[in-house]
Structure formats: structure tokens, C-alpha cells
Amino acid sequence: MSQSPANLHPGQSEGQPLPASFVREQLLIRLLMTFIATGLFFMLVPGTFLGVWNLFAISGKHSPGAISAAWIQAHGHAQLFGWIGTFILGIGFYSVPNLRKVAGYHFKEGWLIWAFWTLGVALHWFADVYLWNWKALLPLSGVLELAAVILFIDLSYRGQKIERTTKGKIEPWTIGVLAGTAGLLLAILFNTIESFIVARQEATPAFPAAPDGALLFLATWAFPVPIAWGLTARWMPPLLGIKPTRPRLFLSGIAADMLGVICGLVGHRTASALLIFCGTLLVPIGLRLFEPTIKEAKTAGVHPSFPFFMRLPYAWLIAAAALDVWAALIHDSLGIGGASRHAMTVGFIATLVFTVAPRMLPAFMGRKGLFSPGLMAASLFILSTGCAIRVPAEILGYRHYWASAWTALPVSASLEMLGITLFAINMIATIRQPPLMPQMDLRRSKK
């Protein structure tokens, strides 16, 4: 069927099929939007809502042991892998160098990665929360997640191989992404092996404290942090108007983080915390994030607070690493370790996503722009306020320094849930906006 003149692609004559390059781009955008929508679902339903429920119960009983460990782990898995992991895999697939050369015409590899990953994360959450047939579902979830990561890495490797052949070198930002991808593989491999061990030896699907701590360690400092550093180095210098990245300092920070992860895995807790803290200092210095700008920041289409909120996560990350050093230096770190993880997961990762996604995703998804810059600012302000309440309150309450701090925990949880909900509304409304190009029936376009 021919297209009407109003729906013709530029350069297309009436009666001619759509250009193959345009059709492929639209198919890729559909895949990216599916990843983003899936990540938003995991962020809101299994992640945030369950986490808020947990925190209300903990606050009411003034004890972190008031909630099942399996429920707490279900919340963490949905947030770190269901939300952040899905976003990273989707954007990563979209950004793979030479993707159109190494992927099939309809990007079936991407859909397979999405299916394996989504089903794996959903089964892990279901097994932890409902306990139904969990001894079979928990290992199966790990295998599915591992299969998705292996497929993603294989595709990325083939694309990078072509990139090295044509350019002859790897850019510094790519090192951060590759290090984080290796960290993701290690975390998922560890999770899969431990899932089989728990199914064989334990009475509940909850990981014991030691392996759960190791998985959290890998799923934070080894995985999203280096990837976030790499993507910041790739996209932010021209958008923020800052000077070019200092490669040596930037790569030294990544190396310190990776060495810290290795030290942590072999039991050198203090050395690990100190090395990671050094990495969190070196990377923003290498990125020149806190230096005077040389150009005006590009805030068209987003809220003018974009430059501030782009830098705020790195302040939270330094605070998270400093708290981790404190936790490593004392015998009883109750409350401090949790505050460090929250400063990193919400203060750094979530705030960074809430800042970068409104700036980058509309263009990636072929939309005219962000639905509401005002909602962007509101979600960031509310989320940051909730995190600023939660981090000190967790230390003061859990360590019994100030009993009234327990009452602040539900307040922080409610604020963070509101901020997350506003972000989700803004992203969903952006996805539902008309595309830049007229709607076309891609099903009628053949290769």
C-alpha cells in the first residue's frame, strides 16, 4: 500500500517502499521504548512500592529485622537489575558501535535480550515475595539473566571489534562502559551460582548475609558506577559546557574503583573502601565537573536546573564512598553501611538517571522533546530531599543516636516514592508524544 503524501518520508516518492535505513531506525526506537517502559514498571511496582512498604514496617518496629530478608532482597533486585539494569541494557543496545552491522534486520537479538532479562528479573522477584516453587524459579531466573547478559556482551564485542579496526583505538569513556559491563557479568554470574546454592541448601529464597553483601557490592560499585562514569564522559562535556576530560585522571579513577572491587572480593575491606573513595574523587576531577565552565550549558528542552542536578549525584557518590570508609573502619557499622548504599543508589544512580534520561531519551526515541521540564525539576527536587532525609536518619536511628530519627524514615520513603512517580509520569508522557517523523505502517515495509 502506498503512503499518503502527508506521511511520506523525506526523499520517498508516493508508491515507493520506505527506505530500509529509516525502517530499521524505527524498529530500534520501538525496542528502546520497550526497554524503558519495562524499567519504569520495575522501578515503580516491584521496586519502589515494595521498598516503601518495607521501610514503613522497619520504622514502626524500630528494627531493620522487622521485614523478611527475602522481601528486602526482592526490592533491591528489582531496583538494581529490574530498573537500572533494564535501562542500561536498553540504552547500551541502542548505543552499541556498528549495531546495524552486527545485528539482524529486525534486531531480534535485542528482543531476545529483553525477553530473557525481563522474565529473569520478574521470576526472581516473584520467588522472593510469594515463595511459590521458589527452589526451581530462583535458579531459572539467574540462568535467564545470565543468558541476556552474555548475548548483550557478544553483540557489544562484535561491534567494538569493528570499531577498533576502523578507528584503531578505544576512547576513555568506552573503558568505563566496558569495565561496568564486566562488573554486570560478574554480578549476574555470582547471583546465578548463589541462586543454585540457596535452592539446594536454604529453607527460604533469601541469600545469606555474606553472599548478599557481596552481590550488593558487585551490583553497585562494579556495575552501574563505572558505566555511569563512562556515559558522563561521553555525553556531558559539550552539554554542560565544561572542558574536555582529563583521560589519565579519569582512567585512574576507574582503575582505583576496579582495584577496590577486587580487594573487597578477596576480603581486604578497608583497602577496598579507601581505593573506591579515591576513585570517586579522581573521576569527577578528571571529568572537570566542578571546574568553571567554558561555554553555556545546553538546557534547551529541559529544566534550567539540569547543570546543577548533573553535578549533585557526584557529590552524593563521594559521600557514599566516605560513609563506606567509616563503615569499614569500625566493628559495628549498623546503619552506616545502609546509609552509604542509599546515598549511592538513590543519591547518585537515581538522581543521575532522573537528570540524564529527560535530556537524552526524547532524542533517542525520536520524540519532539521532554513532556514537562517542570515535572523533571519537581521529581529531582523531591527525590533529593527524600535522600537528604534518609541518609542521616538511617545512621541516627539504626545506631540509636536519636530515637526520633525513626519517624523520619517513612517521610523520606514517601518523598522518594513521589519523586519516582513524577519521573515515571514524565517519561511515559514523553513516550506517548507524537514522533518527529509522521507515523507510518512499518509492517508494510519490507527489507
The whole-number average pLDDT for the span 261-272 is: 96
pLDDT confidence band for 50 (50 / 70 / 90): low
Measure the CA–CA gap between 15 and 210, rounded to whole angstroms.
Answer: 64
**Quick one: how many helices (H) and strands (E) in the chain?**
17, 0
- What mean pLDDT comes out for the span 303-320? 97
Residue 1 has pLDDT above 50, yes or no: no
30 assigned to some structural domain: yes
Q: What residues does 367 pair with on adjacent strands?
A: 435
If you average pLDDT over every residue of the chain, what do you get? 88
| Dihedral class, residue 421 (left if φ above 0, else alpha if ψ from -120 to 50, else beta) | alpha
Q: Do 29 and 364 contact (CB within 8 A), yes or no?
A: yes
Range in 27-36, 181-190, 343-352 with the lowest mean pLDDT = 27-36
- How many residues are present in the chain? 447
pLDDT (tens digit, 9 = 90+) per residue, 145-198? 999 999 999 888 888 777 777 776 778 998 999 999 999 999 999 999 999 999
Res 5: pLDDT? 46
pLDDT at 26: 85
- Is 28 among the domain residues? yes
Q: Which pLDDT belongs to residue 47?
A: 65
Q: Are 351 and 384 spatial neighbours (Cβ–Cβ below 8 Å)?
A: yes
CA 392, chain centre distance (Å)? 24
And the C-alpha cell for 199? 535452592
Provide φ and ψ at 176, rounded to 5°.
-60, -45
CA–CA dist 241, 230 (Å, integer): 17
What is the percentage of the chain residues whose pLDDT exceeds 70? 88
Whether 290 is covered by a domain: the verdict is: no
Contact 233, 178 (CB under 8 A): no
pLDDT value at residue 100: 73
Q: What is the dihedral of CA 182, 184, 185, 191, to 10 degrees?
A: 150
Contact 241, 295 (CB under 8 A): yes
46 belongs to a structural domain: yes
Residue 131 lies in a domain: yes
Higher pLDDT, 8 or 39: 39
Q: What share of the chain in percent tops pLDDT 90?
A: 63
pLDDT of 409 over the 70 cut? yes
Which helix (DSSP H) or strand (DSSP E) does residue 245 occupy? none
Is 232 part of any domain?
Answer: no
Residue 435, SS3? Answer: strand
CA neighbor of 308 nearest in space, from 424, 316, 342: 316
State residue 46's pLDDT score. Answer: 76
Q: Which residue has the cell 529544566?
A: 303
Over residues 335-360, the mean pLDDT reads 95
- Bridge partners (DSSP) of residue 435 are 367
Residue 283 counted as domain residue: no
In a domain, 150, yes or no: yes
Name which of 59, 43, 111, 109 is nearest 349 in CA terms.
43
pLDDT at 434: 84
Q: SS3 of 430, please?
A: helix
Does residue 18 register a pLDDT over 80? no
Q: Is the dihedral of CA 272, 397, 220, 143 positive or negative?
A: positive
Which residue has better confidence, 441 or 328? 328
pLDDT of the residue at 148: 96
- What's the confidence (pLDDT) of residue 76? 85
Alpha helices, DSSP H, located in 266-305: 269-287
Residue range 368-406, pLDDT digits in tens: 889 999 999 999 999 999 999 999 999 999 888 888 888
Q: Where are the beta strands (DSSP E) in 63-120?
A: none
Is 113 a residue whose pLDDT tops 70? yes
Domain that holds residue 85: 19-222
Cβ pair 5, 440 in contact under 8 A: no
Structural domain count, the chain: 1
Q: Is it the case that residue 12 has pLDDT exceeding 80?
A: no
Task: Name the amino acid, one letter, at 259.
Answer: L
How many angstroms separate the CA atoms of 344 and 337, rounded?
A: 11
Task: Look at residues 285, 256, 248, 287 and name the one whose alpha carbon lies nearest to residue 273.
Answer: 256
In this structure, of 18-27, 149-158, 170-179, 254-263, the range with the lowest mean pLDDT score is 18-27
The answer, yes or no, to whether residue 225 has pLDDT greater than 60, is: yes
Mean pLDDT of the 411-415 span: 89
Rounded to an integer, the average pLDDT of 3-31 is 63
> Contact at 8 Å (CB) between 275 and 253?
no
Q: Which helix (H) or strand (E) holds 206?
A: none
- Pick from 60-64, 329-333, 372-376, 395-399: least confident: 60-64
E strand or H helix at 376, and its extent? helix 373-398
